């Protein structure tokens, strides 16, 4: 099993609903976030293009954040989800430094936190909070090894890119272009 997410940049409107839904679902304190929005503008008026996309941890196949963690708090679970065990985390921040996507933050209660792909919801057969809420339905989640999963189907029919492939982390967020 290999969990992944596809984000359709042709549909995302940058509304931030995925950010608020994650905050309320996961009790992320206000002022912090596990997912966020990026807006890219290119060209000059009137030949301008805008790309909007929702980003979060890439749950990299080759994850520097896990490798550099001195206590083993950062680890990988079933389906390739990268997690942090809060009780084992000493808050040293090595992982924050090592992540090319700036996907982690220091939680005010002293540990490092990040996207979990809502594994607590997956365990119950639900999808992630951001996918469930997105009003434009532009997020696709699932198991890459299952050809019938939403994410596999989305990737089959569309062109896509990943962010910072040069970092070699094998990221698992795919941006449909």
Partner 1 sequence: MKTRRDFIKISAAGAGAATLGLSSLSWKGVNSLYALNDQGPVSEEEMTAHSTYCEVCFWKCAGWTYVDKKGNIRKIIGNENDPHCNGRLCPRGTGGVGMYNDEDRLKTPLIRETVNGKQRFRKASWDEALDLVASKMAEVREKHGPEAFALFNHGAPGSHFKHLFHAYGSGNEGEPAWAQCRGPREVGFGATFGSWIGSPEPTDIRDTKCLVLIGSHIGENMHNGQVQEMSTAIDRGATIITVDPRLSTAASKSKYWLPIKPSTDIALLLSWIHVLIYENLYDKEYIEKYAMGFEQLKEHVKNMTPEWAYGITTLDPDLIRKTAREMAAASPSVIVHPGRHVVWYGDDSQRERAIAILNALLGSWGRRGGFYFKEAVKVPKFPQPEYPHHKWDWKDNLDGKYPLSAMGITTELLRASIPEFNYKHQIKSWIVAGTNLPLTIPDKELFQMAAQSVDFIAVVDTMPMDITAYADVVLPECTYLERYDYIRSAPHREPSIALRAPALKPKYETKPSWWIAKQLGERLGLSEYYNYEDIEEVLEWQLNKLGSSLDEMKKLGVKKFPRKSGGLYLQDGEDYEFNTSTGKIELYSLEFEDLGFDPMPKFTQHPQPEEGFYRLIYGRAPMHTFSRTSNNPNLWDLMDSNSVWVNPKVADIWDIKNGQKVWLQNQDGIVSTFPVKVRVTERIRWDSVYMVHGFGHTNKKLTRTYGHGASDSELITNVMIDPMMGGTGMRGNFVTFIKEKPIEEVES
- Cα–Cα distance for residue pair 79/123, rounded to 1 Å: 11
- List the single partner that 23 binds among ligand SF4, partner 1, none, CB under 5 to 8 Å by kind: partner 1
Task: Return the number of the residue (16 or 165) whose C-beta is nearest partner 1.
Answer: 16
- In angstroms, the CA 119 to CA 168 distance is 25
Rounded to an integer, what distance in angstroms lies between the CA atom of residue 157 and that of residue 161? 13
Q: 26: part of which helix (H) or strand (E)?
A: helix 17-26
Which among ligand SF4, partner 1, none contacts residue 65 (Cβ within 5 to 8 A by kind)?
Answer: ligand SF4
Binding-residue pattern over the window 20 to 39 for ligand SF4, x denoting contact by CB under 6 A: -----------------x--
Q: Which is nearer to ligand SF4, 6 or 143 (CB)?
A: 6
Binding site for partner 1 (CB under 8 A): 10-11, 13-17, 19-21, 23-27, 29-33, 35-46, 48-50, 52, 55, 86, 100, 102, 108-109, 118, 120-121, 124, 132-138, 164
Cα distance between residue 129 and residue 17, in whole Å: 10
Q: Are 50 and 41 in contact (CB under 8 A)?
A: yes
- DSSP-derived letter for residue 166 is G
Contacts of 141 (CB under 8 A, 6+ apart): 3, 4, 5, 6, 117, 127, 128, 131, 149, 150, 151
Q: Report residue 103 as tokens.
A: 């996907």
Any contact of residue 163 with ligand SF4 (CB under 6 A)?
Answer: no
Q: How far is the CB of 119 from partner 1 (least distance, A)?
A: 10
Q: Which of 2, 17, 25, 51 binds ligand SF4 (CB under 6 A)?
A: 17
64 is a site residue for ligand SF4 (CB under 6 A): yes
| Residues near ligand SF4 (CB under 6 A) | 12-18, 37, 54, 57-60, 63-65, 82, 99, 101, 103-104, 114, 134, 136, 138-139, 169
């Amino acid at each position: 099993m290999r969990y992944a997410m596809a984000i359709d940049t042709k549909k995302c409107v940058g509304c931030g609903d995925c950010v608020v839904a994650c905050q309320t679902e996961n009790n992320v304190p206000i002022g912090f976030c596990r997912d966020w929005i990026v807006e890219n503008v290119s060209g000059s008026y009137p030949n301008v293009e805008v790309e909007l996309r929702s980003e979060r941890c890439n749950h990299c196949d080759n994850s520097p954040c896990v490798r550099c963690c001195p206590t083993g708090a950062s680890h990988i679970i079933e389906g390739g989800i990268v997690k942090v065990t809060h009780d084992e985390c000493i808050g040293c921040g090595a992982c924050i430094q090592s992540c090319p996507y700036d996907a982690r933050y220091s939680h005010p209660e002293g540990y490092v936190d990040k996207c979990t792909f809502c594994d607590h919801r997956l365990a119950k057969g639900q999808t992630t909070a951001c996918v469930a809420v997105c009003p434009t339905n532009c997020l696709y989640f699932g198991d890459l090894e299952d050809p019938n999963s939403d994410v596999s189907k989305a990737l089959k029919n569309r062109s896509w890119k990943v962010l910072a492939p040069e970092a070699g982390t094998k990221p698992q967020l795919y941006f449909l272009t």
